[in-house]
Amino acid sequence: MAKRIDVSGLNAYYGSFLAIEDISMTVEPRSVTAFIGPSGCGKSTFLRTLNRMHEVTPGGRVDGKVMLDDENLYGAGIDPVAVRREVGMVFQRPNPFPTMSVYDNVAAGLRLNGKYKKSQLDDIVEKSLRGANLWNEVKDRLNKPGSGLSGGQQQRLCIARAIAVEPNVLLMDEPCSALDPISTLAIEDLIGELKERFTIVIVTHNMQQAARVSDRTAFFNLAAVGQPGKLIEIDDTERIFSNPSVQATEDYISGRFG
């Protein structure tokens, strides 16, 4: 199920603007890797290059290599749609489909990609909602609109929707930044459970969160506004937060940044 990601020499552009420069890193399967760094340093851009969502933005362009086990996502003949089925994504703001019920939201990825029997779908929807720790809260309102749930429930619904298509990797772009502490806790617990099955990459602005949920942490920074973002270092989370090898990382983590 879970796959290793191996990035080498990756540059991402918006038009002619180089947003992130020369990034190389390895993300281990069945682990949580957190990206931290100041706003605008390219964490989210980098995350979106991992499932080819970057090129959805007008002018978005990438060069370099992203290996998912032994396949280069940017190789010739690779279908971005197929890539996104392997590498799922959860966004900053909960975004359930407003025209669909809770059930249809979870089933959306499957239904929109092919034909499934009703009984098969029922099983997958229940499994995904249980996987997202949401089943007990919504089992009696599966046919109600997904947008009627609370923010935290909506975000877990989006996670259920993402894991329903059984991806190998789950990318999370600040999944808790729009949520209250209790919903955040629910999602963090969920991340701990999900890493048994998926490779997880999470972007966060909350350093305690990075310390709590991740096995490895990558620090991104940019020299100045208008300069491309760079990977400063990636290491075990414990090391990054206790004894980082680069001074800039320590400054950022201890709040002496800028």
Partner 1 sequence: MSNATLSPQHGSLRGATLPKWFAWAVAAGSLAVGYGISAAAGLESDIQWALIAAVLFVVGSYGISAKVEGSRQAKDRTATSLVWVAFLLAVIPLASLLWETAERGVKVLDGYFLSHSMGVVADAEPGGGIYHAILGTAEQVGLATLISVPVGVLTAIYLVEYGRGKLAKAVTFFVDVMTGIPSIVAGLFILSLWILILDMGPSGFAGSLALSILMIPVVVRSTEEMLKLVPNELREASLALGVPKWRTILKVVLPTSIGGIITGVMLAIARITGETAPVLLLVWGTDFINANPFQDPQESLPMYIYLQWANSGGSGAAFDRAWAAALTLIGFIMILNLLARGIARWKAPKTGR
Residue 165 in contact with partner 1, rule: CB under 8 A: yes
* CB-CB contact of 229 with 61 (8 Å): no
Identify the residue among 4, 85, 197, 212 touching partner 1 (CB under 8 A): 85
* CB-CB contact of 56 with 91 (8 Å): no
What CA–CA distance (Å, rounded) separates 224 from 82? 36
Residue 147 in contact with partner 1, rule: CB under 8 A: yes
Residue 116 in contact with partner 1, rule: CB under 8 A: no
**Closer by beta carbon to partner 1, 130 or else 144:** 144
**Given CA atoms 190, 24, 57, 1 in this order, what sign does their dihedral have?**
negative
CB of 106 to partner 1, least distance (A): 11
- The DSSP result for 25-88, as a single string, is EEE-TTSEEEEE--TTSSHHHHHHHTTT-GGGSTTEEEEEEEEETTEETTSTT--HHHHHHHEE
Residue 61 in contact with partner 1, rule: CB under 8 A: no
CB of 68 to partner 1, least distance (A): 14
Residue 197 in contact with partner 1, rule: CB under 8 A: no
Query: Residue 172 pairs with which residues in a beta bridge?
Result: 90, 202
**Scanning the structure block, which residue is given the tokens 């290599």?**
65
DSSP helix/strand/coil, 15: coil
CB of 138 to partner 1, least distance (A): 11
Find the part of the chain contacting partner 1 (CB under 8 A) among 20-28, 88-96, 175-183, 232-240: 88-96
**Closer by beta carbon to partner 1, 88 or else 228:** 88
CA-based R_g, the chain, Å: 18
Backbone angles phi, psi at 255, to 5 degrees: 85, 10
Identify the residue among 37, 42, 60, 88 touching partner 1 (CB under 8 A): 88
Residue 162 in contact with partner 1, rule: CB under 8 A: yes
Closest CA to 219 of 5, 228, 205, 188: 205
Residue 148 in contact with partner 1, rule: CB under 8 A: yes
Find the part of the chain contacting partner 1 (CB under 8 A) among 61-69, 156-164, 183-191, 203-211: 156-164
Binding positions for partner 1, rule: CB under 8 A: 51, 53, 56, 58, 81-86, 88-89, 91, 93, 95, 97-99, 108-109, 112-113, 141, 144-145, 147-148, 158, 161-162, 165
